[in-house]
Amino acid sequence: MALPTPDGISTNRSTFLAVEPQLYVTAIEAACDYYGERLGFTVAFVYGDPPYYAQVYRDGVQLNLRQVHQLPFAADFRAREDDALSATIIVEDAAALAAEFEAAGATFHQALRTEEWGTKTIIVADPDGNLIAFASSA
């Protein structure tokens, strides 16, 4: 499809359809269990023999999980960069999701709060320290 550019000249551009963040984990099966049991995701597939790669999904969101022997961040990274997010997921109702996650025993890095710009957010941590923000306008 030809789309106009800022200078008014049309160009052919491909349309983005989705994004699938890749999160690094140290135990693929434990990560799949956490995302399923605590965050309500479904395992789409687990790949490898032994398994080292998986995808989980919930509604229209997919996360790819890649097992590594050593996490890519320095040991003190999370201490220095308190809210270094691995992904942000836009949701319909962050407050309802916070209640769901609390009941399921998810690990909260940040409890529900309203940001200065009006967005409601929570941040959860997986067993390997990946931080995922969930945000809504309501």
Rg over CA atoms, the chain: 18
Give me the phi and psi of 80, to 5 degrees please: -80, -35
Give, for all 138 residues of the chain, the pLDDT tens digit. Answer: 556 666 666 678 888 999 999 999 999 999 999 999 999 999 999 999 999 999 999 999 999 999 999 888 887 887 788 889 999 999 999 999 999 999 999 999 999 999 999 999 999 999 999 999 999 997
Q: What is the CATH number of domain 18-69+81-136?
A: 3.10.180.10
Give residue 102's pLDDT: 98
Domain ranges of the chain: 18-69+81-136
What does pTM read for this prediction?
0.87
